[in-house]
Amino acid sequence: MKGADAEARAEAHLLRLGREVLARNYRIPGGEIDLVTREPGGTLVFTEVRQRRQGRYGSAAESVTPRKLALMHRAALAYLTRELGRDDLPCRLEVLTIDGPAATGTLSLIPLE
């Protein structure tokens, strides 16, 4: 499966940060969230995982388009309303990037506003 190794490394990293994984690859028509986690303080975090093995086409962060951000927002709102029954919970979006091989590349967490 494409991206499975990067997502597994991302999940392990988020678990080491003390987060609880609530969902993996949450899908709605037209959108997906790779990982839904909850921080120790209770904030929900919707994470998109992006990896670029080589920099020939730009960095992993550069691969996140405005359209992808809009789809993430839509999927996060759907998760809140469908799975939790409300849309007023503390939450945020972020992108976890891996530049280089999934197992050893440089990992970065980028919060989105």
Tell whether the model's pLDDT for residue 82 goes beyond 60: yes
Determine how many CB atoms are found less than 10 A away from the CB of residue 12. Answer: 9
pLDDT digits (tens, 9 = 90+) for 4-46: 899 999 999 999 999 999 999 999 998 899 999 999 999 999 9
85 burial via Cβ count (<10 Å: 0-12, 13-18, 19+): exposed
What pLDDT, on a 0 to 100 scale, did the predictor assign at position 72? 93
Q: pLDDT band for position 2 (50/70/90)?
A: low
Q: Evaluate if residue 1 carries a pLDDT over 70.
A: no
Averaged pLDDT for residues 51-74: 87
pLDDT at 69 over 60: yes
What is the percent of the chain with per-residue pLDDT over 70, rounded to a whole number? 97
Query: Is it the case that residue 64 has pLDDT exceeding 60?
Result: yes
Question: Right CATH number for 4-112 from 2.60.120.10, 3.40.1350.10, 3.30.930.10, 3.40.50.720?
Answer: 3.40.1350.10
